[in-house]
Amino acid sequence: MKFIKGYTYTFRASGSEHYTDPEALASMRLLRDRTGADTVILVLNALQDTAQSETIDYTGPHMPGDEELREMIAYCRELGLRVILKPFINCRNGTWRAHINFFDVDIPHEPQWGNWFQSYTEYQLHYAAIAEETKCGMIIIGCEMVQAQRKAEQWRKLVSEIRRVYSGLLTYNTDKYMEEYVTWWDCLDVISSSGYYPITDWKKSWTG
């Protein structure tokens, strides 16, 4: 895989902001020009109400429309940028997504992992199809989901389903210090981590 020199673009957007606004396009061009980057990570920020909600909303005004996403990807290609899609989630009530969690055993009348993964898979497959259509080079299938990442069987199944519709590279972005606790790296192509290590400690973090 080629070295990636990139940046993340559009972490949050309101319903009045769009990928295809002139300001957004100008910002993308300026970021490329001033950073010398060759890759952009387009973030898609779906929402669930709380850390125990089973349904993920990826169709509301907090998300770009599919056509404007396609147009932004095409524009990035015109600028000579490689494109990575990062469809991840946050909680509307402000809880960090690392705390999304349910009982390990599905209990009747309680929120369940099975229902959550069904909704999450639908979300990921929607954008995997767009990524394949637009020839994005990689998808980041989750970010810092510390409690959820222990459900290895479900993640492996998700990866398998994504690979049926998407032929590019797949990765998952774990949180700092969590790298050794992801037991399903082998089904992915790239290991990713949010490396927010203390500056005085960073060497220790990767040398053990």
Predicted pLDDT at 202: 58
Predicted pLDDT at 83: 98
Element spanning 119, H or E: helix 113-133
Predicted pLDDT at 206: 53
Q: Show pLDDT as tens, one digit a residue, over the chain (208 residues).
A: 889 999 999 866 666 678 888 999 999 999 999 999 999 999 999 999 999 999 999 998 889 999 999 999 999 999 999 999 999 999 999 999 999 999 998 888 899 999 999 999 999 999 999 999 999 999 999 999 999 999 999 999 999 999 999 999 999 999 999 999 999 999 999 999 998 888 776 566 555 5
Predicted pLDDT at 183: 97
Predicted pLDDT at 106: 85
Q: pTM for this structure? A: 0.92
Predicted pLDDT at 179: 94
Predicted pLDDT at 138: 98
Closest C-alpha to 37, from 73, 4, 9:
4
DSSP conformational letter for 135? T
Domains, the chain, ordered by start: 6-207 (3.20.20.80)
- 197 residue type, one letter: Y
| Distance from C-alpha of 87 to C-alpha of 67, rounded to nearest angstrom | 16
Helices 152-165/113-133 angle, 10° precision: 30
Each as own residue / partner, the long-range contacts of residues 59-64 (CB below 8 Å, 24 or more positions apart, any chain) are: 60/15, 61/14, 61/15, 62/12, 62/13, 62/14, 62/15, 64/10, 64/13, 64/18, 64/19
Predicted pLDDT at 132: 98
